Amino acid sequence: MLSTTEQQSISVGWGRFLDDDENFRVAPAVIHSDLNCEHILLDGRSHRLAGVIDWEDAAVGDPALDFAGLLDCGQPFVRSVLAAYGGHGDMGILARAGFYQAIGPCYQVLYGLDVGAQEHVIQGLNGLRTVWARKKR
């Protein structure tokens, strides 16, 4: 469904990630697994964290997966969350989060194929094209 050039670009990105042993030297932690701006509740007056919702996908895994979803909230927000995260973060957490965010559209394509929802397939493919075109620059 992708052009040969698009496939090669994505394949190179996957290869770089998989070939870097540092990406697998991760201290697993309990993670939300679907953390994004929509699941964070802020107090309207103080603008402080009031809660985090939708924990049904919680699992033990790479904390960078949660930061991938937070990248859409903006770098200043992500950096403040990482600072509050304390000693649990590692040097590669944001790089891994960027990779996980970049492959996110793959899940949308697979979901669309699984349930026969062509609109999800198209959105996922467009997302892959957009993300990986940016990575090439």
The Cβ-side half-sphere exposure at 48, using a 13 Å CA radius, reads 2
Write the DSSP symbol of residue 45. Answer: T
b/e burial code for range 32-66 (CB count within 10 A of at least 16 → b): bbbbeeeebeeeeeeeeeeeeeeeeeeeeebbbbb
Please, are residues 134 and 99 in contact by the beta-carbon 8 Å criterion?
no
Active site residues: 34
